[in-house]
Chain A
Amino acid sequence: MHEISLVRTILRTLEDEFPADMDRVRGIYLKAGLLANVQPILMQNAFQAVVADEPRYQQTSLHVEVLPILIRCDDCGKTTQVQQYRFICTCGKPSRNVIQGEELLISKVEFDD
Chain B
Amino acid sequence: MTTVKPKSNQASVGSVQCENTTLNLLKVNDFVARAIRDRLPDILVINVCSSPGSGKTTLMQETGKRLRDRLNMAVLVGDPETERDAIRMREVGINALQIVTGGMCHIEAQMIYQALDHIDLTGVDLLFIENVGNLVCPAAFDLGEDLRVTLLASTEGDDKPKKYPRMFLTSELMVVSKADLLPYVPFSVANVVQDAREVNPDIDVLTISSLTGEGIDAWCDWLLTKVAEKKGVLTSPAA
Contact = CB atoms under 8 A, between A and B. Distances in A.
Contacts of A104: 24-26, 140
B24 A105 contact: yes
Nearest to B14: A113
A108 B136 CA distance: 26
Nearest to B4: A110
B199 A108 contact: no
| Interface size class of chain A, counting residues whose CB lies under 8 Å from the partner chain | 35 or more
Contacts of B201: 87, 94-96
A37 B139 contact: yes
B77 interface: no
Contacts of A13: 23, 25
B136 A106 contact: no
B15 A113 contact: yes
Interface in B213-227: none
Nearest to A85: B165
A64 interface: no
Interface residues of B, number: 35
Interface in B16-55: 16-26
A111 B2 CA distance: 11
Nearest to A6: B25
Interface string B163-200: 00110010000000000000000000000000001111
Contacts of B139: 35, 37
A103 interface: yes
B200 A1 contact: no
A1 B166 CA distance: 14
Contact of B17 (A35, A85, A98, A113): A113
A85 B24 contact: no
B7 interface: yes
Contact of A14 (B14, B22, B23, B202): B23
Interface string A58-91: 0000000000000000000000000011111000
A110 B16 contact: yes
Interface centre among B21, B26, B104, B139 (most CB of A within 10 A): B21
Given A35-B169, A84-B162, A112-B16, A2 B137 contact: yes
A45 interface: no
A106 B25 contact: yes
Given A37-B137, A87-B199, A102 B166 contact: yes
Interface of B: 1, 6-7, 14-26, 104-106, 134, 136-137, 139-140, 161-162, 165-166, 169, 197-202
6 contacts: A1-B137, A85-B165, A106-B21, A106-B22, A108-B21, A111-B18
Given A1-B105, A27-B16, 18 more contacts: A1-B136, A2-B105, A2-B137, A6-B25, A10-B25, A14-B23, A17-B21, A35-B165, A35-B166, A85-B162, A86-B198, A87-B169, A95-B201, A98-B169, A106-B21, A107-B21, A109-B18, A112-B16
